[in-house]
Structure 1
Amino acid sequence: MRHFVIGDVQGCRAALEDLLTRIDFDATNDQLIFAGDLVARGPDSLGTLRLIKGLAARTVLGNHDLHLLAAFHGHASVKPKDRTQAVLDAPDAAELMAWLQQQPVLITLPTGDVLTHAGLPPRWTVAQAQALSSEVENALRSPHANAFFAAMYGNEPSTWHDDLTGPERLRVITNHFTRMRLISANGQLNFQHKAGNEHLPEGFKAWFDWPTVRPAGERVFFGHWAALEGITQTPQAIALDTGCVWGRHLTAYCLETGERFISTPGLQ
Structure 2
Amino acid sequence: MAQFSRDDVSSFEYVEAIPRNDRTPKQQRMWRYIAMAVAAVVVIVVVVVVAVVVTNHKKNNQTSSTGNNQLVISPYSNMQAIVTNNDTSLQQKERIFVIGDVHGCVKEFNDIVAKLNYDPTKDQIILAGDLTSKGPDSVGVVRRAKELGVLCVRGNHDDKVVRLKTFEIEKGRNAMYPVDATMPEGGVPDPIKFKNYHTGVSFNFTQSDYDYLASCPVMLHMPFLNNTIVVHGGLDPNIHSLENQIPFMVMNMRDIDKNNVTSIDSGVGEQWATVWNANQKLLNMDNTMIYYGHDSSRGLNIKQTTFGLDTGCVYGGSLTAINVKTHELTQVSCQTYVKKGSSNDD
* 1:256 corresponding residue in structure 2: 325
Normalising by structure 2, what TM-score?
Answer: 0.57
Find the residue that maps to 2:307 and give its secondary structure: strand
Q: Letter of the aligned partner of 2:291 in structure 1?
A: F
1:114 matched to 2:229:
yes
* 2:290 corresponding residue in structure 1: 220
1:247 matched to 2:312:
no
CA contact (8 A) 1:15 1:267 kept: no
* 2:144 corresponding residue in structure 1: 51
1:176 matched to 2:256:
no
Distance of aligned partners of 1:190 and 1:112 in 2 relative to their CA distance in 1, 3 Å threshold: closer
Instruction: Summarize deviations over 1:20-61 as a string: whole Å, max 9, x none.
Output: 111111111110111000001011101001010121111010
Q: Structure 1 residue 224: deviation in Å?
A: 0.4
Q: Structure 1 residue 264: deviation in Å?
A: 2.6
Find the residue that maps to 1:263 and give its secondary structure: strand
Distance of aligned partners of 1:50 and 1:221 in 2 relative to their CA distance in 1, 3 Å threshold: same
Gaps of 5+ in 1: 134-172, 194-199
Q: Letter of the aligned partner of 2:292 in structure 1?
A: F
Counting only pairs closer than 5 Å after superposition, residues 3-82 of structure 1 correspond to structure 2 as 3-74=96-167, 75=183, 76=192, 77=194, 79-80=196-197
Aligned counterparts of 2:119 and 2:101: Cα–Cα separation in 1? 21
Work out which of the two has the higher radius of gyration on C-alpha atoms and give 1 or 2.
2
Aligned counterparts of 1:251 and 1:11: Cα–Cα separation in 2? 15
1:205 matched to 2:275:
no
Q: Letter of the aligned partner of 1:71 in structure 2?
A: L
- 89, 104, 115: which one aligns with 2:204: 89
Q: Letter of the aligned partner of 1:88 in structure 2?
A: F
Q: Letter of the aligned partner of 1:27 in structure 2?
A: P
Aligned counterparts of 1:217 and 1:191: Cα–Cα separation in 2? 26
Instruction: Summarize deviations over 1:141-200 as a string: whole Å, max 9, x none.
Output: xxxxxxxxxxxxxxxxxxxxxxxxxxxxxxxx122210000113654122343xxxxxx3
- Provide the aligned length of Structure 1 versus Structure 2: 213
Gaps of 5+ in 2: 1-93, 168-182, 184-191, 338-346
- 307, 326, 329: which one aligns with 1:238: 307
CA contact (8 A) 2:226 2:287 kept: no
Q: Structure 1 residue 267: deviation in Å?
A: 7.1
Aligned counterparts of 1:87 and 1:245: Cα–Cα separation in 2? 19
CA contact (8 A) 2:227 2:287 kept: no
Q: Which has the higher contact order (CA 8 A, sep 6+)?
A: 1
CA contact (8 A) 2:153 2:232 kept: yes
Q: Structure 1 residue 266: deviation in Å?
A: 2.9
- Identity over aligned pairs, percent: 28
Cα RMSD (Å): 2.0
Instruction: Summarize deviations over 1:68-95 as a string: whole Å, max 9, x none.
Output: 0111123443633x5x6255234xx222
Counting only pairs closer than 5 Å after superposition, residues 101-140 of structure 1 correspond to structure 2 as 101-109=214-222, 110-125=225-240, 128-129=241-242, 131-132=243-244
1:2 matched to 2:2:
no
